[in-house]
Structure 1
Amino acid sequence: MSLQRQMGFWMAALAVLILILVVLRPILLPFVAGMALAYALDPLADRLERLGLGRLVASLLILFLFAVVFIVAIAALAPLLGQQIALFAQSLPANIARLQELFLKASQSAQLGWLRDMLGTGEAGGSTSFSVGELVGQAASWLAGVAQSVVSGGLALVNFLSLLVVTPVVAFYLLNDWDRMVARIDSWLPRQHAATIRALARQVDDALAGFVRGQALLCLILGLFYAIGLTLVGLNFGLLIGLGAGLISFIPFVGTILGFLVAVGVALAQFWPDWLMIGIVIGIFITGQALEGNVLQPKLVGEHVGLHPVWLIFALFAFGYLMGFVGMLLAVPLAAIVGVLSRFAVRQYLLSSYYTGTGGDSGKPVA
Structure 2
Amino acid sequence: MTLRRQIQFWLISLFAFCAFLYVFSGVLLPFVAGAAVAYLLDPVCDRLEKLGMGRLWATFTILLAFVFLLILFFILLLPVLGNQLASFLERFPELVRQLQGLVNDQMGQRLAEAAGINLADLQASMAEMVGQGAAFVGKLAQSVWSGGQALLSILSLFVITPVVAFYLLLDWDHMIAKIDGWLPRDHLEEIRGLAREMDGAVAGFVRGQLSVCLLLGAFYAIALAVAGLNFGLLIGMGAGLVSFIPFVGAGLGFIVSMGVGVVQFWPEWPMILVIGAVFAVGQFLEGNILQPKLVGNSTGLHPVTLMFALFAFGYLFGFVGMLIAVPAAAMIGVLARFALKQYLASPVYTGSRRLSKIGPEDTASQEGANE
TM-score bin (small chain): over 0.9
1:297-354, CA deviations, whole angstroms, 9 ceiling, x for partnerless residues?
0000012432222211110111112212111101011101110000000000011110
Aligned to 1:240: 234
Residue 80 of structure 2 is aligned to residue 80 of structure 1: yes
Determine helix, strand or coil for the equivalent of 2:353: coil
| Aligned residue in 2 for 1:13 | 13
Partner residue of 2:318 out of 305, 324, 347: 324
Partner of 2:23: 23
Aligned residue in 1 for 2:250? 256
Note if contact 2:258-2:272 (Cα within 8 Å) is conserved in structure 1: yes
Q: Work out whether residues 99 and 269 of structure 1, in 8 Å CA contact, stay in contact via their aligned partners in 2.
A: yes
Deviation at 1:92, TM superposition (A): 1.4
Cα deviations by residue, 1:56-113 (Å, 9 ceiling, x for unpaired)? 1111110000011111111001221122112212221221111111221245434652
Q: Distance in 1 between matches of 2:154 and 2:140?
A: 18
Which is worse superposed, 130-139 or 216-225? Answer: 130-139
Q: C-alpha distance in 1, partners of 2:285/2:160?
A: 37
- 1:45 positional shift: 0.5
Structure 1 pair 68–108 and aligned structure 2 pair: CA distance change class (3 A): closer
Tell me the amino acid that sits aligned with residue 104 of structure 2: L
- Equivalent residues of 2:254, 2:279 under 8 A apart: yes
- Give the residue type in structure 1 aligned to 2:196: R
Question: Over residues 231-286 of structure 1, what are the superposed CA-to-partner deviations in whole Å (9 max), with x where a residue is unaligned?
Answer: 11100010000001001112221111111110000001001111110000000001
Answer yes or no: is the 8 Å Cα contact 1:116–1:128 preserved in 2: no
* Residues 212 and 291, structure 2, Cα contact 8 Å, conserved in 1: yes
User: What is the number of residues matched between the two proteins?
Assistant: 356
Aligned-pair identity in percent equals 55
Supply the AA of the counterpart residue of 1:358. Answer: S
Are the equivalent residues in 1 in contact too, given 2:205–2:298 (CA < 8 A)?
no
What CA distance in whole angstroms lies between the structure 1 residues aligned with 2:341 and 2:80?
53
8 Å CA contact 2:200–2:298 kept in 1: the answer is: no
CA 1:141/1:108 → structure 2, altered by over 3 Å: closer, same or farther?
closer
Matched residues in 1 for 2:142 and 2:87: separation?
A: 19
Q: Does 1:180 align with 2:181?
A: no
Please state if 1:135 is matched with 2:135: no
In structure 1, what is the equivalent of residue 66 of structure 2?
66
Render the CA deviation track for 1:166-193: whole Å, top value 9, x for unaligned.
1111111100010000000000000000
Superposed displacement of residue 129, structure 1: 3.5
Q: Aligned equivalents of 1:331 and 1:32: distance in 2?
A: 12
The answer for the alignment partner of 2:200 in structure 1 is 206
Structure 2 stretches lacking a partner, 5+ long = 357-371
2:285 to 275, 291, 308: 291
Does the C-alpha gap of structure 1 residues 25 and 116 become closer, same or farther in structure 2, counting only changes over 3 Å? Answer: farther
Change (3 A) 1:272 1:116: farther
Distance 2:125 2:111 in 1: 20
- Given that 1:152 and 1:324 are in contact with CA atoms closer than 8 Å, whether structure 2 keeps it comes out as no
SS at match of 2:244: coil
Task: Judge conservation of contact 1:155–1:325 (CA < 8 Å) in 2.
Answer: no
**Distance of aligned partners of 1:35 and 1:111 in 2 relative to their CA distance in 1, 3 Å threshold:** closer
Q: Answer yes or no: is the 8 Å Cα contact 2:39–2:169 preserved in 1.
A: yes
Matched, 1:4 2:37: no
After superposition, the Cα gap between the structure-2 partners of 1:243 and 1:337, relative to the gap in structure 1 and judged at 3 Å, is same
Q: Secondary structure at the match of 2:77?
A: helix
Letter in 2 for 1:272: W
Instruction: Quote the offset at 1:116 in angstroms.
Output: 7.3
SS of 1:26's partner is coil
- Partner amino acid, structure 1, of 2:263: A
RMSD: 1.8
1:311 is the counterpart of 2:286: no
Code of the aligned partner of 2:211: L
Instruction: Give 1:133 shift.
Output: 2.1
Please tell me whether the aligned partners of residues 100 and 133 of structure 1 are also in contact (alpha carbons under 8 angstroms).
Answer: yes
* Structure 1: stretches of 5+ with no match in the other structure: 363-367
State the AA in 2 paired with 1:224: A
* Equivalent position of 1:365 in the other structure: none
* Structure whose CA Rg is larger: 2
Report if aligned partners of 1:33, 1:167 keep a CA contact under 8 Å in 2: yes
Corresponding position of 2:222: 228
Question: Hey, what does 1:352 align to over in structure 2?
Answer: 346
Higher mean displacement: 296-305 or 214-223: 296-305
Q: Are 1:164 and 2:166 an aligned pair?
A: no
Query: Do the aligned residues in 1 keep the contact of 2:26 with 2:150 (CA within 8 Å)?
Result: no
Deviates more, 1:253-262 or 1:144-153: 144-153
- What is the TM-score of this pair, normalised by structure 1? 0.93
Deviation string, structure 1 residues 95-146 (Cα, Å, up to 9, x no partner): 11111112212454346524673xxx344xxx44432222111111111222
